[in-house]
Chains A and B, each alone.
Chain A
Amino acid sequence: MLLGEVDFVESTGVMVVKSVLIFIGVFLIVPVLTVVERKLIGRFQARYGPNRVGPGGVMQPLADVGKLLGKQVFRPENAIAFLYAIAPGLVILSGILTLAIIPFGNVEDGVGLYGIDVSIGVLYFFAFSSFAFYGLLLAGWASGSKYSFLGAMRSAAQLISYEVSMGLALLGVVMMAGSLSMTSIVEAQGSIWYVVPQFVGFLIFMISGFAETNRSPFDLPEADAELVQGFQTEYGGMRFGSFLLAEYLEMFVVSGIAVTFFLGGWMGPGPPWLDPVWVVVKILSLIFVFIWVRATLPRVRYDQLMSLGWKVMLPLATLNVLVTAILVTVL
């Protein structure tokens, strides 16, 4: 396994429990996020948002999932059956795997408050978050629909354009912390959060994060105005729900990575047991930004997305890395 820098070995039992907790956590986080987003967007748009199911509409996700589960499992005639079925699974898998490395707190009583602490943290994140795009590509390809195909093409192009700048944005932090491990990076932020010295990197990471999660204003793969629903067009029922679930999950993960790398992870005033609370609070405030942006900004055009990625973000990220490298060496 990849348990490089951990100075203790957790028992298999603990790891199994943690895996189960993460899995359950996923299915708790996403419904909360959906209802939070819908309520917030509703308020942004001068309306109420869901308020019929349960007190204040909090049970709305249950109703949604119940409806989606009740739908007929349907596949278009010219879809590739096997790929069509596994594509949503791949996307969710990617979300859960990346969630595993987000630290919610330091090691306490021999148990780390994270799924796993891999020594190659950043690389792990990129490896498995990119994995989601295979899901999108397969979904678009296997649906046998032109809208889906165009959506899949867009997501592929988007991945290539933004993955690079995203990686370079994190590289500055890695150089400053001198480690790829998530916990070490958080611990290195004891004196100052990296959002201050690495502000450019933070901005680039967040903008790329919007592209990575297919959120507005970079929701081109599922641009409803021109591509109906992009790669999801032909999906229905809980398979469609899986894509939604994965989108929220990715939003959570990207926010989690940003918190870990730039916003000091579990750092915060108060006793150690508050650490996970701090992480969640920071993540939720970043998610609020995601939702805010969605309610405000129009969607960019495909070529503008490309030119932003290659002509602005990439040079800026490279410059950021260069400057950081010089400063780290000199100081």
Chain B
Amino acid sequence: MSEPEIHTPTERGLLPEDEDPSIGLVLEAEAAQAKLEADSVEPEQELLTVNMGPHHPATHGVLRLVVSLQGETVLEVKPVLGYLHTGIEKSCEDKSYWKVIPFVERMDYLSYFFNMEAYCGAVERLLGIEIPPRAKYLRVLHMELNRIHSHLVWLGTSALDLGAISMFWYCFRERDRVLDLFEMSSGQRMHTRYFQVGGVFEDIPVGFAERLTAFCDEMPSRIDQYEALLDRNEIFLHRTKNVGIVSKERLLELGVTGPLLRAAGEPWDLRKVTDYLAYKDFEFSIPVGTVGDGYDRYRVRLQEMRESVKIVQQALEGMPEGPYLHDDRKYVLPPRDELSTSMESLIHHFKLVTEGFRVPPGELYYSVESPRGELGCFVVADGSSKPARVHFRDPSFVNLQSFRDMSVGGYIADMIQNLAMLDPILGGVDR
């Protein structure tokens, strides 16, 4: 066996070369403060180091921010991670492939369908199976509903951070309707385990289409209402416009993806760039911003919700007939009724439930466009029924690197706004 190559973070493309790889992760507050005092601050000026979090109303989970303040101005900010580290990636190595699915759902807990798709898609590609068209449509439908749901949570909590408390309830009212739909199709409101290797768990039930149509008809007008509350509000515009601008080049250097990058004017969206699931069948556009400030990020996400509604409508209308699950019994559980008639099925069922299916050796990276950016799953298979390694490229984690660039030099209130518009999910950051 050859010597394993050692990759530094720079080579992996996580950080630009001139950047200290430890920035954005953990740095001792005292060292940074001493450096700051030597560099930029007059000796008589005092710096206030505030430790925000891990339990703080506005850190969206358990993010800890070590902030050096001069008055109300942020001189240095260091996100400290790890308070929600659950060892999911490591635990996945100890589970058979089909048992990993509910695990990975729980990382980025607002985009569980995307986590499932990234993982299931990677395993399917390793196995070399193509899921049926209906399953593709069902997956797209649920993922786009999930995107709406995730953006609604983002909008509600961000508005709450800016002090517009009522938005939170309006957004959660609509979010509940999305969750009702999830409950209808999969039996669960969150962490549905609806996708599985080879397709989806179940077909959509009777009555689902009607409720989904009603929701899709109503949602655009709801988004109009959110805009009426926020977009025409002078205070909101003052708080978000020209705040937290990071240049497109810098964002690309940092590997930032998703609405943050699109708000800066780069129309990078994996749904258009790569060809996965059935996205090429649908008409939708990629909203982009111009300046890349908080307001653009807000506009881009709001527009994305409208586009998602369009995709959901198209997916429902053009839903092809046919199976929703691959019929290769080596990987997919046979239907219940076959068990009493077919010995083959019984054996497959027994093998799949006890040992699970085996995946031929190999490694594969598969990425999807999650509500926060490129969500990639890297699976290494060693031929057994358990993955040798599961690693996720979580957009929250990568995007969080741009937080310092957004916030340094601004006000502390802007820092909170930047964090809200960044929309990190700590479950995804720490994994």
Contact = CB atoms under 8 A, between A and B. Distances in A.
Contacts of A300: 235, 238-239
B162 to A, nearest CB: 4
A146 B260 CA distance: 31
10 contacts: A146-B50, A217-B163, A223-B413, A224-B57, A228-B57, A295-B165, A296-B164, A298-B230, A298-B233, A302-B72
Minimum-distance CB pairs A-B, first 6: A299-B163, A45-B169, A298-B164, A225-B58, A298-B162, A225-B161
B58 A226 contact: yes
B368 to A, nearest CB: 31
A47 interface: yes
A297 B416 contact: no
Contact of B414 (A150, A223, A301): A301
Nearest to A219: B163
B56 interface: yes
Dominant secondary structure of chain B at its interface with chain A: helix
Given A223-B413, A226-B415, A295 B166 contact: yes
B159 A298 contact: yes
Contacts of A303: 72, 411
Contacts of A45: 165-166, 168-170
A21 B427 CA distance: 55
Interface in B367-422: 411-416
Nearest to A295: B166
A297 B164 CA distance: 5
Nearest to A145: B50
Interface in B138-168: 159-166, 168
A299 B415 CA distance: 14
Interface in B150-203: 159-166, 168-170, 173
B163 A225 contact: yes
A191 interface: no
Name which of B162, B230, B415 has the most chain A CB atoms within 10 A of its CB. B162
A85 B201 CA distance: 61
Contacts of B170: 45-46
Interface in A284-298: 294-298
Given A223-B413, A301-B411, A302-B411, 15 more contacts: A46-B169, A46-B170, A46-B173, A225-B58, A225-B416, A226-B416, A295-B166, A296-B229, A297-B163, A297-B164, A298-B163, A298-B164, A300-B235, A303-B72, A304-B238
B411 A228 contact: no
Contacts of A226: 58, 412-413, 415-416
Interface in A221-249: 223-226, 228
A294 to B, nearest CB: 7
A302 B229 contact: no
Contacts of B235: 217, 297-300, 304
B236 interface: yes
A216 B163 contact: yes
A84 interface: no
Contacts of B32: none
Contacts of B173: 46
Contacts of A150: 48, 50, 69, 72, 412
Interface string A31-65: 00000000001001111000000000000000000
